[in-house]
Structure 1
């Protein structure tokens, strides 16, 4: 009897164990089925996402391809427009020189009497700027002399000397300039390796410097704006003067590194500058090159905005303008201190070619040429001058 009970107990335990194993296997099977379903859903979603991604990628590629085609088309249209604008500018220049527009002014006699200078005062002013009555009629040719890596800078000769030395200011601020014995040395060799280095006692600022009769006249900006007269032969400072204008601002809207731009013409030394008191227009001053004293100052009607450089010929200021998107440089404002010529009478002149913007333009009175630095290119512009009375 005891044995039978034991056998029944064992059979019951075995049955329970089998039932538990069966239930566990069913659970495992349900979980596996659930995983398989989730994997199937994930696979379907992945396939759908992959298809959608390929379709989106194809759409993007087609869109980019269309953009490239439109960009090329727009570039071609811009080239055509540029070509047409250049042709129109040349035609306008030709028409203006052949058929100058007649001046038509209605003058109020009382107003004229109130604002006009007396004949005697005008005579005194003109006597101060004597011996030169020419002005620019045309920019007849250009010559690219060299190209340096620096976008902005200055290169000049001694403006009133027979020496062939060339002086290079590489950049817009430094304390060292480069001297070449002749122009050929400057053009024949790469960079500035053939130059003699001249270290200045004070750093120069901007591109408004000149060399005149063996002296370098340059601008020092710190602690205040000064004109330094430096003897290139003796390597010494001959004189210096604080510039009398207060609260100075950049004189050219497109060349913010220039606060004072020195110029030399047949009549002497000039300073082109701007102040906050007259923040819209350029100012002009005549200096004594021996003492650096200011002899006379003028407020000009030439705007600072979009100006890139300027120069002086026979007492006439020529301001060169461009645009922020870099178009062709042009002489758009003329101011004559003798009142013989104004912007309305002067021809609108365009420079032959554009690269970027002129960081410096210097007139050489002895050669009747402009020495310019345009986006790293060193350029000579040959000028046609005519008497002011013929305009």
Structure 2
């Protein structure tokens, strides 16, 4: 009996201990579930707050985007209005230009009206008036044309470096391309059409010169190539190269005090050679402190300097220049580049007053000319603009005396 009692007491004690153990386990699990529920509730509240903040941010972003769109529309309208006003001003300038001709310095007794008729007696015939014109005008200049407008522009192609030069010999159809700002290779094409249809410069005839040309300021005139040889610690040299015989026929020193660039926007050009109806010209700067561009007339046969002028055209903001009928046209731009314009004119015969010469704008392009070369046979400019080869057609009119 006694062992049975002990067994019952032991069993009861064991059951009581298990009950306490499982009760403690349940309490632990219940506390963990409550903690998880609290954390989930916290996460839910945080999610709601983040959602509200994102919605408010989206609303603010949408309002800001609407404001930017409105500002962009207003700015676009302002720009369009400005473009319209600029076009209107340019048209008005063109109209004024057509109504006003550039006048020149001459004897005060010699007058000419806008129509080009001399102030002679009314009973003199047209033939006699023309003879008087030729007799008097021949004492002033052999060339009677001035640029009145830039008629059109043709972008031929884009090949080569951003800076370079291309030109055509006035006495032939051959085209010569100077790629870059220096080198001893010149690319020759048989015609403008061949150059336009070519793929790059590899298909051209490669002319290797005996020395390097410096700067995109060379000239081709009557079968000869004239280029500048510029070496360190040496005077500038003008080299005359016979394209037919492939040989140098003459070299002339061109002494200047310093090798200052002639155009501040094209620092690679120390001397710019130009050819027109009257021969060969050089544009240069006398020194770093000299503010104006100088002009020299050169004999194309002997390379002798015949005469020198101060054009009174500033070097500052100049990018290129060319000569037509003994008149220098200096082209200006800005940095960064905007629209090129002819803003200074100098006539070696004093037939054109710069203040009364027309202000000519090139057709709208937003680059900068590395070179401009005039062809007197075609009355065209061959331009190099940021690697583009461009042809400008010019409209000419007779110079008028006042």
- Would the TM-score normalized by the shorter structure come out above 0.5? yes
2:266 alignment partner, SS class: coil
Question: Does residue 363 of the first structure (1) align with residue 374 of the second (2)?
Answer: yes
Using the TM superposition, give the Cα deviation of residue 174 of structure 1 relative to its aligned residue in structure 2, in angstroms.
Answer: 4.2
Q: Distance in 1 between matches of 2:29 and 2:230?
A: 87
Over 3 Å counting, the alpha-carbon distance change for 1:29 and 1:144 in structure 2 is: same
Q: Distance in 1 between matches of 2:102 and 2:275?
A: 32
1:258 alignment partner, SS class: coil
Q: Distance in 2 between matches of 1:299 and 1:19?
A: 117
Partner residue in 1 for 2:75:
74
Partner residue in 1 for 2:222:
213
Over 3 Å counting, the alpha-carbon distance change for 1:349 and 1:11 in structure 2 is: same
Q: 2:357 aligns with which of 318, 326, 346?
A: 346
Question: Does residue 330 of the first structure (1) align with residue 341 of the second (2)?
Answer: yes
Partner residue in 2 for 1:197:
206
Question: Does residue 186 of the first structure (1) align with residue 203 of the second (2)?
Answer: no
Q: Which moved more, 1:289-298 or 1:211-220?
A: 289-298
Cα RMSD (Å) of the superposition? 3.9
**What whole-Å deviation, never above 9, does each CA across 1:146-194 have from its counterpart, x for those lacking one?**
12245543221124xx211111223444443221112332234454465
Q: 1:156 aligns with which of 150, 154, 167?
A: 167
Q: Which moved more, 1:207-216 or 1:337-346?
A: 337-346
Contact 2:103 2:351 in 1 (8 A): no
Using the TM superposition, give the Cα deviation of residue 309 of structure 1 relative to its aligned residue in structure 2, in angstroms.
Answer: 1.4
Over 3 Å counting, the alpha-carbon distance change for 1:98 and 1:27 in structure 2 is: same
Using the TM superposition, give the Cα deviation of residue 332 of structure 1 relative to its aligned residue in structure 2, in angstroms.
Answer: 0.7
Q: Distance in 2 between matches of 1:298 and 1:19?
A: 120
Q: Which moved more, 1:184-193 or 1:364-373?
A: 184-193
Q: Distance in 2 between matches of 1:275 and 1:34?
A: 92
Contact 2:103 2:352 in 1 (8 A): no
1:56 alignment partner, SS class: helix
Partner residue in 2 for 1:106:
none
1:269 alignment partner, SS class: strand
Over 3 Å counting, the alpha-carbon distance change for 1:266 and 1:21 in structure 2 is: same
Q: Distance in 2 between matches of 1:12 and 1:226?
A: 123
Tell me how many residue pairs correspond in the alignment.
Answer: 363
Q: Distance in 1 between matches of 2:323 and 2:74?
A: 43
Contact 1:155 1:167 in 2 (8 A): yes
Over 3 Å counting, the alpha-carbon distance change for 1:75 and 1:173 in structure 2 is: farther
Q: Which has the larger radius of gyration?
A: 2
Contact 2:216 2:371 in 1 (8 A): yes
Partner residue in 1 for 2:396:
384
Q: Distance in 2 between matches of 1:86 and 1:261?
A: 33
Using the TM superposition, give the Cα deviation of residue 245 of structure 1 relative to its aligned residue in structure 2, in angstroms.
Answer: 3.0
Q: 2:314 aligns with which of 299, 303, 306?
A: 303
Q: 1:142 aligns with which of 152, 176, 181?
A: 152
Partner residue in 2 for 1:116:
none
Q: Distance in 2 between matches of 1:49 and 1:133?
A: 83
Contact 1:371 1:381 in 2 (8 A): no
Q: Distance in 2 between matches of 1:187 and 1:68?
A: 44
Partner residue in 2 for 1:120:
none
Q: Which moved more, 1:62-71 or 1:78-87?
A: 62-71
Gaps of 5+ in 1: 104-128
Q: Distance in 2 between matches of 1:242 and 1:253?
A: 23
Partner residue in 1 for 2:185:
176
Could you state the TM-score of these two structures normalised by the residue count of structure 1?
Answer: 0.74
2:316 alignment partner, SS class: coil
Over 3 Å counting, the alpha-carbon distance change for 1:172 and 1:34 in structure 2 is: farther
**What whole-Å deviation, never above 9, does each CA across 1:253-282 have from its counterpart, x for those lacking one?**
443443332212344332223466326433
Q: Distance in 1 between matches of 2:292 and 2:11?
A: 115
1:245 alignment partner, SS class: coil
Contact 1:139 1:352 in 2 (8 A): no
Q: Distance in 2 between matches of 1:60 and 1:276?
A: 59
Contact 2:169 2:175 in 1 (8 A): yes
Higher relative contact order (CA 8 A, sep 6+): 2
Runs of 4 or more consecutive aligned structure 1 residues displaced over 6 Å after TM superposition: 1-18, 100-103
Over 3 Å counting, the alpha-carbon distance change for 1:246 and 1:26 in structure 2 is: farther
Contact 1:308 1:358 in 2 (8 A): yes
**What whole-Å deviation, never above 9, does each CA across 1:308-336 have from its counterpart, x for those lacking one?**
21112333321112334654432111123
Contact 2:165 2:179 in 1 (8 A): yes
Using the TM superposition, give the Cα deviation of residue 9 of structure 1 relative to its aligned residue in structure 2, in angstroms.
Answer: 9.5
